[in-house]
Amino acid sequence: MHTRTRRTSLSLLSFALALSLAPLAHANDAQAPDGPRALPGSLPLIPAPAKVERLDGAAFNVRASTPVWASGEAAQRVAGQFTTLLRNSGGPALQITPGRGTHGIAFVLDPSLKTGAEGYQLRSQGNGATVRAATEAGLFYGAATLSQLLSGGSNGVLPALRIDDAPRFSWRGLMLDSARHFQSLDEIKRVLDAMAEQKLNTFHWHLTDDQGWRMEIKRYPKLTAVGSCRIPAGDGGRDPVTGAERPYCGFYTQDQIREVIAYAAARHIQVIPEIDVPGHATAAIAAYPELGTLDTPLKPLSEWGVFPNLFNTEESTFQFLENVLEEVITLFPAKYVHVGGDEAVKDQWEASARVQARMREVGAGNEMEMQSHLIKRLETFLEQHHRRLIGWDEILEGGLPPEATVMSWRGTDGGLKAASEGHDVVMSPVTDMYMDYLQTPSDNEPPGRPLTTPLGRVYGFEPVPDALARDKQQHILGLQANMFTEHTRSYARLQHNLFPRLAAVAETGWSPRERRDYADFLARLPSQLQRWQAMGVAYAQTPFQVELDSHDDRKAGTATLALRTPLNYEVRYSTDGSPVTAQSPRYSTPLTQPLPVTLQAATFFNGQPLASAASRFELSATSLLSRNDQQLAMCPGEGKLLLRLEDDGPADGERAIFNVNIFNPCWLWKDADVDGIARLHVRAGQIPYYFQLAHDEPQRTFSPARSAHGEMDVLNGRCDGTPLATVKLPAKPGADGFITLDAALPRSVKGTQDLCVRFTGDTRPTMWVLDTLTLVPR
């Protein structure tokens, strides 16, 4: 279905966790109630350095003629990276000069310094600046700091100062899912560039899942020949001209993987591969059916959610996994190999007589112990090859080898337990570190997860739990942002999801806990936005846009307009059609305006606009009678899983987005003024229902259909009870994928009402979605 005019979109995760953790996703955000506020002596740097001292003396003015000095291969290599980064960040183009002079910028590698593995010293005075470090990595991070000081609006003016800096954590990571949606080599490299500029040092590469196997394995060519292609659901999986199947394919050859690893290493980023076991295995089983527990042939999935398909427990399958890991180890030099271990629904193992017999053979008392047996087997194999196993926190269940490292995603409790038991831990909780959740409640958010993880919440995350004993705190290696890509079809959407939140992750990973201050971070962020603009990083606009809450008085012909912005930057506005500038009126309290009215508003910091364009709102007596699905709420009651779902077509280009509760498709217009309203017009369409929810299936509460194809019901206040109006649904929508349904309201319905619109019946493999709800006067 397609042909819809408006906006952008979002996605989902482990459904069980999305439900159970939903109340947590809005708690404990870092707060800056008065907006951005720079601390005394603050510099426009992200992440904030450990120690900064402003010095008396003249500033150093960097121009295109300023020389860059470096001696030795490593220092010259870093100097070259510095000049490239500075130029790409909007600073001047500088030239490297071998040796050392008395004026200019110098990079000095001195192994006798006590700066640590990634630390550095930076000194600046009137005649120049010097970066020193004991290691090339430290020198590189010093170069990144100096580049920031000379860009982002500084005009190349460097104050006299001394910086002594080193990271708080050794693991400062980003996980990118290339299995659900595939990124090109150029896109991967651009992500690595942005990571390096923010001093992130670990790229966790999610290469296998139910929807695709993305890594070439020479010994098992079908893994990519079969497992790297799927047929997308609905119109997206068909050629728009011929109607033929249109596969979605992609994988990385081993040479391409080596290229990515080398590119990352040059930026001091380790690449951690993930081969997921025993769940998330559908693509592998589709390629080699003997790896599964069922006789039914499988295909790489075009659906999202949690699936029951697991690797079986045969010795031959264990050997297959070890053979795969052998090629992985040959390619990836990093110490760690990630084996997944998450969301392995055990239904097929429970139902398989052969798996149950195999459990008895190996002495596993239950299915979790069987999974633990597999993890221990792989851990032993990796240890024999001088590697360490890391997995999601489910690997704790059933027992864990002492050398295994835990990545805690289901909150922080798993990490706390693992660290208390002496395991190393990387904190990456779904509540704080998942970049595919929405950044804001804006209609302009692209596809992502159903909950909201705003910038303040990401910044406020503390990786070391207060409850962790002091002598165990060294087991917290650091933190990691996770970017799953179910609905992140494009690189533009990937950038939106990552930025600016990745800057908050970087500061938490690098800066001392006592140096972190959210209001100060927001004051430094606009300089980083300028650098990203120069670098071509398409960061999210939504955190810097203005949102409108309006309350209309139809009888008076007015509307009260309340403006809000997620990050509490200054808001300026106009209602007379003039462009919004730093001299426009500053918003402070809601505005009451006669209808019709066109309102424009924008956020500013130090007189500079933060979004690429002002937000524009056009309101009239007619427009206030309509709301789209994103302006409506979920109906109250049981069975809630709100998702922002993308349409299935067109095959290429932008698609419409729908907010829908897939457990109970029902939309709420709260406090609707229905005085004088005769009818409701509902524009509705159908999209594919492409979810498997494993053990969450019983939570569905579809209202039963009362006719052949179900009904659209209009109810008062809840999606249960006796409908105020009912319209029978057709078998399918019109040629454009939509249909307009007309429902007459009883004359007895007056005043302010909470109107619920629901669709009845289980219509899978498609589902009805509401596009717009319009009140029609008598």
Crossing angle between the packed helical segments 491-498 and 185-197, to the nearest 10 degrees: 20
Which residue, 30, 19, 23, 21, is CA-closest to 566? 30
Which residue, 564, 602, 609, 522, is CA-closest to 37? 522
Distance (Å, rounded) from C-alpha 191 to C-alpha 140?
17
Please tell me the total number of residues recorded for the chain in this structure: 778
User: Out of 181, 204, 280, 373, which one is annotated catalytic?
Assistant: 280
Distance (Å, rounded) from C-alpha 737 to C-alpha 410?
39
Using alpha carbons only, how large is the chain's radius of gyration in Å? 28
Tally the C-alpha atoms within 13 A of residue 466's C-alpha that lie toward its C-beta: 1
Q: Specify the DSSP element, H or E, that contains 666.
A: strand 666-673
Is the separation of the CB atoms in 334 and 271 below 8 Å?
yes
Q: Specify the DSSP element, H or E, that contains 776.
A: strand 766-777
Which residue, 133, 115, 121, 261, is CA-closest to 202? 261
Is the separation of the CB atoms in 630 and 654 below 8 Å?
no
- State residue 402 phi and psi, 5-degree precision: -65, -30
Is the separation of the CB atoms in 99 and 69 below 8 Å?
yes
Is the separation of the CB atoms in 285 and 291 below 8 Å?
yes
CA 502 to each of CA 49, 233, 433, 742: distance values in angstroms, whole numbers, following the listed order: 17, 31, 9, 46
User: Out of 29, 209, 393, 445, which one is annotated catalytic?
Assistant: 209
In this structure, what token pair is assigned to residue 507?
A: 């500061």
What is the identity of the amino acid at 362?
Answer: V
Name the E strands within 224-346: 229-230, 248-249, 270-277, 304-306, 336-340
Is the separation of the CB atoms in 741 and 727 below 8 Å?
yes
Count CB neighbours of 295 within 10 A.
Answer: 6
CA 427 to chain centroid, in Å, comes to 16
Distance (Å, rounded) from C-alpha 565 to C-alpha 549?
11
Which residue, 157, 160, 110, is CA-closest to 135? 110
* Angle at CA of residue 229, ends 228 and 231, nearest 5°: 155
For residue 280, indicate whether it is catalytic: yes
For residue 343, indicate whether it is catalytic: yes
Name the E strands within 508-585: 547-553, 558-564, 570-574
What is the torsion angle, in degrees rounded to the nearest 10, for the CA atoms of residue 698, residue 700, residue 704 and residue 710? -140
User: Out of 177, 343, 552, 647, which one is annotated catalytic?
Assistant: 343
Q: Specify the DSSP element, H or E, that contains 636.
A: none
**Residues annotated as catalytic (active site), given as ranges:** 209, 280, 343
